[in-house]
Structure 1
Amino acid sequence: MGYKKLILLFTLFAALAAKAQENKFAVADSTAEQLYNAGDWKQMIVFGNKAIADSVDFPGLRFKIGYAYMITGNYKAAIEQFDQVLSNNSANFTARLYAYYCNTYLNNDLGASYNAGKLDTATRRSLKLSPFGLIDAELESGLKLPNNSQRDNGFFERIGLSNRLSWRLQLDQSFMFFSQNIFRSLFYDKDADKYLSGKTDRQTEYFVKAQFGVSQQLNVIGSYHYIYTTYRGSVNNSNLGLLGIKYSGRFVDLQADVNFGRLINNTLKQYNTRLNFYPLGNLNLYTTSRASVLNLSGTNSFIYNQALGFKAFNKTWLETSVTFGNQDDYLDADGLYVYNSIDPTKFKCGETVFYQLNAHALLNLNYIYEKKADIYRSVNYNQNSVTLGMIWKF
């Protein structure tokens, strides 16, 4: 008889708990609907997060929170909420479309493409994506001004193109050219069989990077960089590769990768970790921290880069960066930029201005100050560089 009473009490308590939980869900759903319809987005976010903390969680609530985050410009947080909706129902058309837009606003082309691939054909057509899979084209032209009587000005040009090979696969390609006259008193040129006072350092380069979206949050990265160098009668063919993985979270993006290969006469390995932090969930404020260990023919160097970017005015962003460490043969931007000039850089800092000219064109002006070491003389000197670039979004 005692056991029957216990079972009856347990059943009664369970029914009351279920009823209470059901009432909590109903109240939460009703309140969220009122806030959503009223467009009270800040209160919608506060209420929704508190409800989830109180174990009241369902896809409709997540969608409304995500939409409120998107409207208020926190695209990172919005993506997290839409992902929760899609994990319950991957066919939710509206959540998928909004996730596409949020990734686009964050310049995450592969994340946007991943979501676009899961939309129907008519919707993808309405997004006006390039029929050839083109994403963007880039142009850069730079001038390097060394404060050294034995170094002439350096010139750098780059043209790049990004395109979508599939909804999960993105390919970036660049062609680059660099030249600089090097003056040095009386060095022997074996080809000319005489002593000369100057030579030109010329480099022609090709770079290709592939990114594959395992999921919206996880990407696998691979790149290859070929460099054809001529200097003092010598010709060198350098081949460099990179393998890495990148994870996109609510406030941060994390990446780990390794560069490897042979650069002129040196065997190179470079291990990198990078953290991008978006405290507001958008590009109005962000930081990038990158730590690298460069092993150059058995010699290790530690290099650290820190950047801070923010939206200063309407259509205008500023980004400040500083790099510490011996940057002799240092590789940056997933292996795109290779700092293998004649003289190694010991310190670097710079400022970049981005200006959104229109819906397609983004202009950028970059200034860099470098402290460099002359490899032929025991002197240091300063170098100032200016680069003008444009990105055209298709």
Structure 2
Amino acid sequence: MRNLVTAVLFLTLYVCNAQQITSEQFDLETYNSFSKKDYNTTIQLGNEAIKRGIDFYFLRYRIGVSYFEKTNYEVAITHFEKAKEFDSNDPVLMEYLYYSYLYTNRNEKAVELLAIFPDDLKAKMNYKSSFFKSISAELGVLKTNNFDTNKNANLKANNNFAHGTFYSDVIFANIFINNQITPNFKLQNLLSLVSNTSNDLFQSSLPVNRSQLFTNNNNYFQWNGIGSYYCKGWNIGAGFGVYNSSYITYTPPPPFQPNTPFSSIKTNTTNFSTSISLSRKLKYIEPSLAITYTNLSNTDTFCIEGALNYFPLGNLNFYGNTKIGMVTNDSETNTIITQLLGVKIAKKIWIEGYGAYGNHQNYISDSGLYVFNTPNKINWYAGSNLNFYFKQVDFSLGYGIQERASTYENGPNPSSINTINYTYNYNLLKTKIVWKF
């Protein structure tokens, strides 16, 4: 029995000593390869050490920096966070971890970490605790030949009466304000102003051929407020929106009364929306779900949207966003599929391509940041953005195309009409500038 105990004790001491020697060897070998900036070897040796149960601060630090230099920031985060458990006071480590969060779109984690930086590190990074994180302004125009194509057309065909509302160009402006209230809570405000031109065209042959055109400039205002709270990797959001618009409805005189003027009614409408959302950033992906209620078009409507952001390279050099939305009310249910892909093409330049398919009318996306409160439904759209990112200012140029669907009416008289469906296109030109504080 004494011999067995002695053997077990000897074996235990031998294994512990071998473990200590192996740990020292890995420390020396990873130090040498790391010093030579041989990051592939450092990663290989470091991962082998971890497989053997060897783990210490400098091992994780060297592996993390090696992945960081290879721009795989997602994997770097794993090792930096583990190194932080060994030593949370190393300012160099914290700086590496901060930028790894930023370069993987983990902005909430970056803000949370920045708040606990020591004063000297904050000074080095020119950190300023600002209530305003960013303010952006976007201007754009949607151009169409819809009215020009139809204004001289024979809408009556073989009938006596026709009426259609044909829209011309649209001009819009957006102001987006991003406030960081606390390290875990941010508030976003979006203000939008849209101006479009509607052309109400009436054609009649009762009793003689007659054409009447009414042109109006219509203004539309939108405000959306979205608050989101970050807690243990989860983002919980709530939004509210108010939408105000006005339009004029024209009614033709009875047949055989050509000298009787048209009657008109101006209508102002105010609608609202409310939404809740939930998202979580995981390694390489970020799933989210949002549910919105709105009474746009004075119709009770629910929008449900599931989205997935993904960063397959572990950085922002290539990324994508896929969304599937559903818009449902008492009369219909529509499904919308949206896809975006972005790729880095130069040091500070990214290009994005996007597209969407489905009836977008009254569709609310991203908890209210994108609202499709259009008089005619959007069947599909596609486009691209060229984005320039600098230290204090971001700049973007965009082009897109939309297909919209509309109708006009004709018939033997205004009381007996047929509905004619047709489509037309908008060409979108926009520019956006973001000031970062």
TM over 0.5: yes
1:393 is matched with: 436
The aligned counterpart of 1:207 is 224
Q: CA deviation at 1:375?
A: 4.4
1:265 has 2:298 as partner: yes
* Contact 2:292–2:304 (Cα < 8 Å) also in 1: yes
Aligned pairs for 1:31-46 (under 5 A) are 31-46=29-44
Which residue identity does 2:92 align to in structure 1?
Answer: T
What are the residue-to-residue correspondences of 1:187-336 with 2, within 5 Å?
197-215=214-232, 217-232=233-248, 233-297=266-330, 299-336=332-369
Counterpart code for 2:291: V
Deviation by residue 1:3-48 (Cα, 9 ceiling, x = unmatched)? x665555444444443333333222222222222222223222332
Change (3 A) 1:19 1:218: farther
Cα RMSD for the two superposed structures: 2.4
Matches within 5 A, 1:1-394: 1=1, 8-149=6-147, 150-186=166-202, 197-215=214-232, 217-232=233-248, 233-297=266-330, 299-356=332-389, 358-376=390-408, 377-394=420-437
Distance 1:88 1:256, change over 3 A: farther
Q: Tell me the secondary structure at the aligned position of residue 346 of structure 1.
A: strand
Alignment check: 8 A CA contact 2:91 2:121 kept: no
CA distance in structure 2 between the partners assigned to 1:54 and 1:266 by the alignment: 63
Q: Secondary structure at the match of 2:123?
A: helix
Q: Rg larger in 1 or in 2?
A: 2
Deviation of the 1:114 alpha carbon: 0.7
| Deviations 1:261-299, CA, capped at 9 Å, x for gaps | 322312222222222221222221111111222223463
Q: Report SS of the residue matched to 1:379.
A: strand
Change (3 A) 1:34 1:173: same
State the identity as a percent.
21
> Secondary structure of the residue that 2:109 maps to in structure 1?
helix
Aligned counterpart, 1:190 = none
Amino acid of the structure 1 residue aligned with 2:278:
I
- Relative to structure 1, is the Cα distance of residues 184 and 85 closer, same or farther in structure 2, using a 3 angstrom cutoff? same
Partner Cα separation in structure 2 for residue 375 and residue 90 of structure 1? 65
AA at the equivalent of 1:47: L
* Contiguous gaps of at least 5 residues in structure 1: 188-194
Of structures 1 and 2, the one with the larger relative CO (CA 8 A, separation 6+) is 2
Q: Secondary structure of 1:374's partner? A: strand
AA matched with 2:230: G
Rounded to whole Å, the distance in 1 between the matches of 2:327 and 2:20 is 58
Q: Is the 8 A contact 1:182 1:199 kept in 2?
A: yes
When structure 1 is superposed on structure 2, of 307-316 and 119-128 the one drifting more is: 119-128
User: Matches of 2:378 and 2:189 in 1, distance apart?
Assistant: 26
Shift of 1:379: 0.5
1:309 aligned counterpart, secondary structure? strand
Counterpart amino acid of residue 393 in structure 2: A
Identify the range of structure 1 (163-172 vs 195-204) with the bigger mean alpha-carbon deviation.
195-204
Give 1:318 deviation, angstroms.
0.7
CA contact (8 A) 1:80 1:250 kept: no
Query: Given the superposition, is the C-alpha separation of residues 47 and 266 from structure 1 closer, same or farther in structure 2, using an over 3 Å criterion?
Result: farther
**Paired position in structure 2 for 1:191:** none
Relative to 1, partners in 2 of residues 1:31 and 1:329: Cα closer, same or farther, differing over 3 Å? same
Is this contact kept in 1: 2:106–2:281, CA < 8 A?
Answer: no
Paired residues in the alignment total 383
